Amino acid sequence: MFVNNSQAQVFHANSEVREFDLHCEWSTLNEVVQLLQYHGPCSAEMHKPIFRRRRVRAGQTLFLMGQAFSGLYLIRHGNMKTAITHAEGSEHVMSFSMQGDVLGAEGVCQQHYGCQCSALLDCEVIRLPVDDSFFNDHSDDGVGRLLYWTISREVSRQQLAYAITHAAKSEIRVARFLIEQSERHATLGHSAKRFTLPMTRRDIGSYLNVTLETVSRALSSLNQLQIIDVANREIVIHSLDQLQAYEG
């Protein structure tokens, strides 16, 4: 059983959300297109500041489960975690997101957010409105197409995440998770073989549907096989081929 909408309305009194709203700047369509790595047509004014940009510090909440939908959020920089909270208080991590990722897509049809999103590191996000007035004002300039494309991309990533988190063997899930992180860093122009994980091992276990002990055991095994080096949250991958072939 999940937390219901009435329980989630506590966000109105949440000091983190109030503080989050104090910091606001603007981003252009050109910046949004670049962050999304979108290559479709857009005839709108690319350099006009039309998207609200906000900051949220590590540990603070962007939106809560059940909160009324107010748009999609594109990560400008930083790392965030989305999770579902059950009525008894337990949490299940749904995703880890970084620069260029979009949050809140499930709210388009539900009209409320289906999970809670919080910052793992200090973040900046760009709000992408998804409402009738926004679409009407930009019906012929490709912005609507951009938003549809963005939502479709998030569905594709969720399908990939499902494949990773439902691998046959628990230890293999950890290896595939590291491969996914490697590929994401490479996409952003960072090193594919050396990076820092912003999330805890407990959060990784929750995301992969395995125990904390399984995550630690898999990382230790990969380290002993000299496929990777692990130092706290620092990961160095020596062989991507061996990591992909790892069978636990």
Q: Stretch 112-135: mean pLDDT, rounded?
A: 87
Q: Which fold has domain 5-162?
A: Jelly Rolls (2.60.120)
Q: What percent of the chain has a predicted confidence (pLDDT) above 90? A: 61
Amino acid 14: pLDDT:
40
Q: What is the pLDDT of residues 183-213, one digit of tens each?
A: 999 999 999 999 999 999 999 999 999 999 9
Q: What is the pLDDT of residues 137-171, one digit of tens each?
A: 555 567 777 887 888 888 888 877 887 888 778 99
Amino acid 121: pLDDT:
97
The CA distance from 153 to 101, in Å, is 9
Amino acid 140: pLDDT:
56
Q: Of 23-27, 53-57, 203-207, where does mean pLDDT reach its minimum?
A: 23-27
On whether the 167-245 domain is CATH 1.10.10.10, my answer is yes
Amino acid 166: pLDDT:
81
The CA distance from 144 to 127, in Å, is 14
Alpha carbon of 182 to those of 141, 177, 191, 228, 238: distances in Å? 35, 9, 8, 12, 12
Angle ∠(170,189,44) on CA atoms, nearest 5: 110
Computed over every residue of the chain, the mean pLDDT equals 85
Name the more confident of 109 and 43. Answer: 109
Give the chain's radius of gyration (CA, Å).
Answer: 19
Residue ranges covered by each domain of the chain: 5-162, 167-245
